Chain A
Amino acid sequence: MKTKSFVIAALGAALASTSALAADMTLVSWGGAYQASQHKAYAEPYMKNNPDVNIIWDESSNEAVAKLRAMNEAGNITWDLVDVVASDAIRLCDEGLAMEVDHDKLLAPAPDGTPASEDFGDLLVSGCYIPQIVYSTTFGYRTDMVGDTPPTDVCAIFDLDKYPGKRSLEKRPINNMEWALLCDGVAKEDIYDVLETEAGQDRAFAKLDSIKDQVIWWSAGADTPQLLADGEVVMGSTYNGRLFSVIEEQNQPVAMLWDAQVFDLDGWIIPAGLPEERLNRVLDFVKFATDTQRLADQAKYISYGPARKSSAPLVSKHAELGIEMGPHMPTDPANAKNTFLYNYEWWADYRDDLDAKFQAWLAK
């Protein structure tokens, strides 16, 4: 009897908790391991504290800008919070599709009281952007295919004599043009000045021409890890977190080449024009999910560096593998000896032009 009434009560409670005004909040992210890390580090603890909020994930970050623009034109914004890379955040902010945020007012300060804007520092590249992590596009190589001299220099990708075999590069001009000029002897600080000129662009393409028939061009982040694991390529570029999982989780004979890694950011934007009730809910979540501890927690599940300076000392061990995550962060001093920050504004101007040239070059 007792158990029966208990079951009924429990059922009732369960029904009540699911139906009782659990408000949905739609977060947009990239899917895969990255979204899983966000779910574990931010969403799960938040829902535990706030049982009245139900977080739903939408894996649309890839085309977030286009979809947000379409939603805005239709006057029906169905997303509450969107995860995008920095260049997309700048575009969304420019177009008025993302809400401007006052970082100090809306975000939690660091544990020592440093205001959020200082804690994030230079990473606040746009007034609408709340960065979460720093990732990098960098190279991985097969340890069993490079002989006794593993590459330490990014220019190894252009060295077919020393490292014969195919390499994989992303099917877009961004990053590739910069690496090509860097390896053609242009100083790091002059790259964009050179790339602005017709002659400089030709120079970059000429450098890429030297390896063109040995390149497999990728468009999905999972391509290079798969190509490396299958031994299709000797080295290839991809996001550092993808390489981490090939190396540490799948134990493939692959190693990282951190030289000239290109930093980029990933973070939240709040769509402009949310109704007040939804906005308040999102702001509450954002404040929680971007505080120092939460950003550090995310690094337990994926090897991306937290965007807050105050989170760095709190980064601990991987949740399942139990290895220390610090040395796997792109921002770790040993890895970040030679880094490259790509120029958002420059690419906003030259993207269309260079992309047309790049595609024409590829098709040749």
Chain B
Amino acid sequence: MSDTIQSGPVLAADGTPLKRSLQRALRRQKMRALLLIAPLLAFILITFILPIGDMLFRSVENEIVSETIPETVDRLADWNPDVSALPDENVFNAFYVDMFLAQEKKEHTRLGTRLNYELTGVSSLFRKTGRRVTRFDTDIYAKQFIALDPAWKDPQTWSALFDVSSNRRALPFTTRSWDRWGNYLRGEGKNPGEEDIEDFLFSALHEDLTRLESTDGVDPLIAAATQAVGGFETVSVRDQFLDIDKDWGRQDVWRIIQVYSPPFTTGYFLNSVDLQLGVDGIKTRSEDQRIYIVLFGRTMFMSLMITFSCLLLGYPVAFLLSNLPLRTSNMLMILVLLPFWTSLLVRTSAWKVLLQQQGVINDVLVWLRIVDDANRLILINNQTGTIIAMTHILLPFMILPLYSVMKTIPPSYVRAAKSLGATDWTAFWRVYFPQSVPGIGAGAILVFILSIGYYITPELVGGTTGVFISNRIAYHISSSLNWGLAAALGSILLILVLALYWVYDKIVGIDNVKLG
């Protein structure tokens, strides 16, 4: 060894520098490890992270407006409600095309439902309009065009006209409408060259032609129509809409469409903190509709209460379990685990039977004369009910981490403390308790996070004052179908939990959490 003095890098057996060869070996190992967990990683990514991300994204997404009525959104951008009380005729023309196509695709009621979240009454307005928009008195355009040249009646003419780019440039609005109509028909398995030309296309054509300045390079058919169109009899599409429902003359209906035109919106998030983005900016909701802030506060408060009562009840149990001989403690452990094997609904219903005013607990108390028959305790359908039932359900999640941490605390420490003259209490409080803190940390965080998302139990035993924000989220997901609002509420809940976790890390330190 000593006679082979080397300068330069240490070499491995094959002559490459040892450092590099080591790195390569390590990299290979890392790759292998990554490959081993790759299926799990992919699984979590696909089944957990992506769906949640997609769901949370809905809280800001608002493309439904600009996708369903693109022309209207486009033209409405120029409307200034301070200048004219209502959008002008060409917005209505665009809206006619959009609505016609939307009702063919059955998208108009969905849009109506979306806007109804912001302005009550829009839902039925859209539904009603969808039913009537196909029967507008706009057929006079079709009649006049066909009278001018019967070729207009033939869908083949239209197909041919809108294949030529100079025609398309001359008639932009009609081109877009024709393309959308064609896409829709092809989606239905139909050929646009064979279906009747609908009135809305003639109405769009009429608008384009009145605006057309030069007929250079366009088809003679269009040129001829441009000459004639000045003498055409016209019909006001706006009046047609007002005829269906006078609400189309309401400024706030149009304002709400305008305000909710962009593809992204803060509307859902504002709603979930009791604000509303309405026709005149962001305002707090009227007092009789404010609910979410209260519910968030209540959710936090009750979750903390539940965590605290779990700790209060769980600590002595875990202490007992970890200090009994193994045989006995195993027996008792089964009792702790037993609730896990019982259905959640059964346990919750059992609490109903126990806690209600004519229930077991009240009956016993009355029988013992502790409580007067006329003043039975109200233990359920309020916050008390939720806290009792959920403490019971979540108790094992507190006991188990506590138990596994306490199990590792050597009893000799407490004995040593006592032999040095500590009282029982001092020995527990100064020696034993600090060592069990990691268990408390783990149990508390588990119980708190689980309880913050519970909704079945609160729904069944919580009455009106014992429900959580998650009950509202469930309602918006499955009943009202306002998924955007549900996603916004869920995002806020997630952010709150993460923030609390951060605070917890700062105060307790996450290294101090042990599950065993």
Interface residues of A (CB under 8 A from B): 62-63, 65-66, 69, 91, 94-96, 166, 171, 216-217, 219-220, 226-227, 230-232, 345-346, 348-353, 355-357, 359-363
Contact = CB atoms under 8 A, between A and B. Distances in A.
B356 A356 contact: no
24 contacts: A62-B478, A63-B478, A63-B479, A66-B479, A91-B113, A91-B481, A95-B106, A95-B110, A217-B464, A220-B460, A230-B358, A345-B124, A348-B123, A349-B120, A349-B121, A349-B123, A355-B480, A356-B285, A356-B289, A357-B288, A357-B289, A359-B291, A360-B287, A363-B295
A210 B343 CA distance: 38
B290 interface: yes
B359 A230 contact: yes
Contacts of A220: 460
A216 B479 CA distance: 21
B503 interface: no
A140 to B, nearest CB: 16
Contacts of A171: 464
Given A66-B481, A94-B110, A231-B358, A217 B288 contact: no
Most buried by B among A94, A353, A355, A361: A94
Contacts of B294: 363
Given A219-B459, A360-B291, A94 B464 contact: no
Most buried by A among B287, B290, B464: B464
B392 interface: no
B8 to A, nearest CB: 62
B478 A349 contact: no
A84 to B, nearest CB: 12
Given A231-B358, A349-B120, A359-B472, A216 B288 contact: no
A363 B291 contact: yes
Nearest to A356: B289
Contacts of B288: 357, 360-361
B109 A352 contact: no
Interface of B: 105-107, 109-110, 113, 116-117, 120-124, 127, 285, 287-291, 294-295, 352-353, 356-359, 381, 459-460, 463-465, 472, 477-482
Contacts of B358: 230-232
A344 B505 CA distance: 51
The 7 closest A-B pairs by CB, nearest first: A96-B106, A94-B109, A63-B478, A362-B464, A353-B120, A66-B478, A360-B291
A77 to B, nearest CB: 16
Given A219-B460, A348-B113, 15 more contacts: A65-B478, A66-B478, A91-B113, A94-B110, A94-B113, A94-B127, A166-B357, A227-B356, A230-B359, A232-B357, A349-B121, A353-B289, A357-B288, A359-B472, A360-B290
B47 to A, nearest CB: 13
A362 B465 CA distance: 8
A15 to B, nearest CB: 35
A69 B481 contact: yes
A202 to B, nearest CB: 8
Given A232-B356, A363-B291, A95 B109 contact: yes
A350 to B, nearest CB: 6
Most buried by A among B116, B285, B289, B480: B289
A69 B479 CA distance: 12
Contacts of A69: 481
A352 B460 CA distance: 22
A217 B463 CA distance: 6
B478 A94 contact: no
B117 A352 contact: yes
A21 to B, nearest CB: 30
Most buried by A among B287, B356, B482: B356
Contacts of B121: 349
Contact of B477 (A66, A166, A346, A355): A66
B464 A352 contact: no
A348 B123 CA distance: 7
A226 B460 CA distance: 13
Contacts of B357: 166, 232
B478 A348 contact: no
